[in-house]
Amino acid sequence: MTTITTAAPEVHAEDAAQPMRLSFSRVDTYQQCPLRFRFAYLDKLPSEPSPHLSWGTSVHRAIEAWWSQKLPAAPPVDVLLQALYDCWDDTGFEGMAREDKIAWYRHAQDVLRRHHERHAPSFVPAVASEEWFALQLGPDIEVVGSIDHVARTDGGGIGIVDWKTSKRAKTRQDVRGSLQLAIYALAAVELWGHEPEWVALDFVVSGVRVAVPREEIDTDAAVATISEVAERVRAEAFTPSPSRLCDWCDFRSLCPAFEGEGPDVAGRAAIELTRLRRKRERDEARINELEQLVRDRLGPEAVLEEGAGR
């Protein structure tokens, strides 16, 4: 039996009396590496911004804005491109050379133009976008998340889509076994009172949608997986699991299983240094402007001591 709540997502490993709040990405992280899960969600160590993450977020937001237009016909491609401009997340690009940043932006524009070509001819506004849910799985597990896109099917039902910005599309077999889509299928019943007809991963970069009928999704297996992860988190089982994914782990310098201090420590330091220097330049430019403004108003002899105005 599942019920809906609207509580904020948190993980309580240490408090057995509280329901454990998990999400697809948390379960997925645990499955990849339990120690990484602990660093990210229990110790709450900050993650580094990255161009890939910011790019994916920006494309997601633009797509969501476009599909949310309640119009009888597809909004023009300019609406999609304007949404990209309005929603652009710059955090992962700080310190990057301007021409490289522009290349990322142009790539996003190309992907969105293709998205428009693919979907405009059959456009129907989304039934829902970024629909938040919180599922109670038994007395002690809550699974939270949001569904990217809910489409109206020809038969009047719903189909669930998750937009993916990864380069490569997955196989039908992968999609059938998707824990994320199984969670969404369960959430749909709670949110709208009925099963989706189909669920899909839509790979926006390659322009491929892999949809499977709801019957092919094993929600029982998904619940068993989530329950097992919750049990292991409660048991504080956080053994590191090194793999090729360590290359993208933000916590390598803290991890006893990772050999070396990480190949990009110096690179990250250089990026942060560049960002801080630019910030200092901006601050100094603004200080000069404000000093000039004060002199213009109060006369050339006016001196504003540091600390004045605090």
In whole angstroms, give the CA distance from residue 91 to residue 101. 11
Identify the H or E element spanning 64.
Answer: helix 51-67
Q: Which segments of 102-207 are extended strands (E)?
A: 128-137, 141-152, 158-164, 198-203
User: Which C-beta is closer to ligand SF4: that of 214 or that of 252?
Assistant: 252
Report helix, strand or coil for 306.
Answer: coil
User: Which C-beta is closer to ligand SF4: that of 22 or that of 249?
Assistant: 249
User: Which C-beta is closer to ligand SF4: that of 38 or that of 60?
Assistant: 38
Contact (CB, 8 A) for 132 and 6: yes
Is 252 near ligand SF4 (CB under 6 A)?
A: yes
With CB under 6 A as the contact rule, the residue among 109, 258, 268, 294 that binds ligand SF4 is 258
Stretch that binds ligand SF4, among 173-181, 186-194, 255-263, 301-309 (CB under 6 A): 255-263
Q: Which residue has the tokens 């890939």?
A: 52
With CB under 6 A as the contact rule, the residue among 21, 26, 36, 60 that binds ligand SF4 is 36
Is 40 near ligand SF4 (CB under 6 A)?
A: no
Q: Which residues pair with 202 in a beta bridge?
A: 163, 209
Is 159 near ligand SF4 (CB under 6 A)?
A: no
In whole angstroms, give the CA distance from residue 211 to residue 219. 16
With CB under 6 A as the contact rule, the residue among 257, 265, 266, 293 that binds ligand SF4 is 257
Token pair for 177: 């076994």
Q: How many residues bind ligand SF4 (CB under 6 A)?
A: 14
Report helix, strand or coil for 178.
Answer: coil
In whole angstroms, give the CA distance from residue 258 to residue 278. 33
With CB under 6 A as the contact rule, the residue among 33, 137, 186, 217 that binds ligand SF4 is 33
Minimal distance, residue 235 CB to ligand SF4, in Å: 18
- AA identity, residue 298: L
Is 251 near ligand SF4 (CB under 6 A)?
A: yes
Stretch that binds ligand SF4, among 33-41, 52-60, 146-154, 155-163 (CB under 6 A): 33-41
Is 249 near ligand SF4 (CB under 6 A)?
A: yes
With CB under 6 A as the contact rule, the residue among 4, 7, 102, 245 that binds ligand SF4 is 245
Between the alpha carbon of residue 181 and those of residues 62, 75, 177, 194, the distances in Å are 22, 28, 8, 15
Minimal distance, residue 156 CB to ligand SF4, in Å: 45
Identify the H or E element spanning 164.
Answer: strand 158-164
User: Which C-beta is closer to ligand SF4: that of 65 or that of 249?
Assistant: 249
Contact (CB, 8 A) for 229 and 30: yes
Kindly list the residues in this chain that would bind ligand SF4 in the complex (CB under 6 A). 33, 35-36, 240-242, 245-246, 249, 251-252, 255, 257-258
